[in-house]
Structure 1
Amino acid sequence: MSANHLRKDKTCLNCGREVPERFCTHCGQENVEPHETFAHLVGHFFQDITHYDSKAWITIRDLLFKPGLLTKLYLAGKRQSFVNPIRMYVFTSFVFFLVLAYVGPHHDPYEVHAPGDDIDTQAYTSSIDSIDARARRADEQPGLNASVTLLSDTAFTHILRTTVGEPERAVRQYDSVQATIPAAEQSRGTERFFARSFLYMHGKYGSNVGRALLDKLQHNVPKMMFVFLPLFALLLQMLYRRKGLVYADHAIFTIHFHTFLFLLGIVSFLLDHWLHTEWFSSIAFLLSGIYFVIALKRVYAQSTRKSLLKAAIVFITYSLSILLIIVGYVISILAFV
């Protein structure tokens, strides 16, 4: 911008403070004339775009190819040359889940599949047939009845077959069957809860019940990240508590690492989709582990052996925690059907 657009009045139009030079030291607004020419607006637009693009590309480049460098620079106070970690994470995660929706199966996950609708359903029906056969063999050998699981029950599978599209009737039939057997053999507590919930979901979606649950889970993963990220940072804080870093420092590492995972996922999922393979996702999984170890070593300045050990501890603990959270979420879905 040329100097002739600067206001002679040194009072900031935004906050009313005195502006010593070009920018207000209090709010940062440039002290220029409010009525600008069109050419000036166009110039301002391109200046902002090219400035942001250069920061974005530098940030992406360093995230992908220099493990831990951005975190180390950020903690050292060198932040102006890179996109803010949270802003970069939000944008990258948005693109990642957009790509995930693009490469995923394009079908209605809530469509009710009755037996014989498609190949998947026929396979599902065959699996129920095998359960029936196992249950009948158990009936012929009374000594084995105690070992027959809930799904190895001919009455249960009969309800599965005959109540697709009628979830309420499925639950009523289950309750009726339970009422006809001795009290000591009736399902109780957790077993009863899962049986009724599964029958309701199966009655509602048929053999598509798995896809429906997966779709519900996938739509809520972005929200779950607000639990996963703080948990990951907490694990780092526990492992590196002697490094003199505060929780927010570990959170920055966490955000940078997960942004890298999203970037890697975007590239690998698209390549797998376009080239009809799964190799790129497998390679990306291995690369993410190597990247994590290198990033830990660079940021926390420990030996390769210690970094490997702590990376394994974080990976195992984090994976188990995610699994427990997902199981809890699925249970909550079943509890409110």
Structure 2
Amino acid sequence: MKIFVTGTAGFIGYHLAQRLLDAGHAVTGFDGVTDYYDVRLKRARLSGLANYPAFTAIEGRLEDAELLTRSLQGAEADIIVHLAAQAGVRYSIEQPQSYISSNLVGSANLLEAARAHKPAHLLFASTSSVYGGNTKMPFCELDAADAPISLYAATKKGDEAMAHAYAHLFDMPTTMLRFFTVYGPWGRPDMALFKFVAAMLEGRAIDIYGQGEMRRDFTYIDDLIEAIVRIMPLAPVRGMPLAGDSLSPVAPYRVVNVAGGHPELLMDFVRAIEAALGKKAACRMQPLQAGDPRDTSADTTLLRALIGEVQRTPITSGVAKFVDWYRQFYGV
């Protein structure tokens, strides 16, 4: 099968492309290799994918509509997985324009290119952040998600709305994947696990926001990729909902939480890092940051209805694997 993946220099895109290539699929990767974080890490991911003869790398920005359309046409892809985006809740407060440009304009370009290409299934990355100010736990796909508390979340909610419109107007089967706190080897340097490990190895204190009382539905990268791969052949069909389904009544469009469904205290995550590193963290307790929800928890009923039991790696194992990768990659 031929698959077009945006964001293959990124954390999730790299892992997905590798999994698909290992399974014998042809993958065309599209990525802007932006400098939001260390470009050397992105280049290293792409270097690993370049070892596969069935991988084609295209470097370009989503904002370049002509290149994006041409690349998608040339890939002759059966399935599109759109993962590229400007990520990060806190950075969206500092650099809002990059989110508008990439997540809204760029994603609109992707949808327009996909409309012309007519894929069998478009899978589109969203985020648990769209649940915003919701206080009902766990978060369910049928819950309203109309109170974003960060611009990042607002742009992703906008993506969901645009994708629904395209699915309705052009009968394009689309699944929005709401990811919950993904972590693991090759992860992003702006995320807590990466920052905590780097600081602790250098003997620096770590900032614990929300006074350590935050909970996150941590999702190990291999578990996430397994779920995506299983969802890929399950294109939504208009008028054929499952029980409790988020399937739109007017479009082949579905929203799915992708997570383990077992939220953990942030401090338990820190203890897993301490165990993996064999050293104690010096913690600076901080108030909750603007744009961050205190808790996230995924209702995975729909995910399990679609793909069966959800693979779940314990945080102790997942964190240890990240630490092993970090030590090897950085030679520490």
Higher relative contact order (CA 8 A, sep 6+): 1
TM over 0.5: no
Decide which structure has the larger Cα Rg and report it: 1
Which structure has more strand as a fraction of its residues?
A: 2
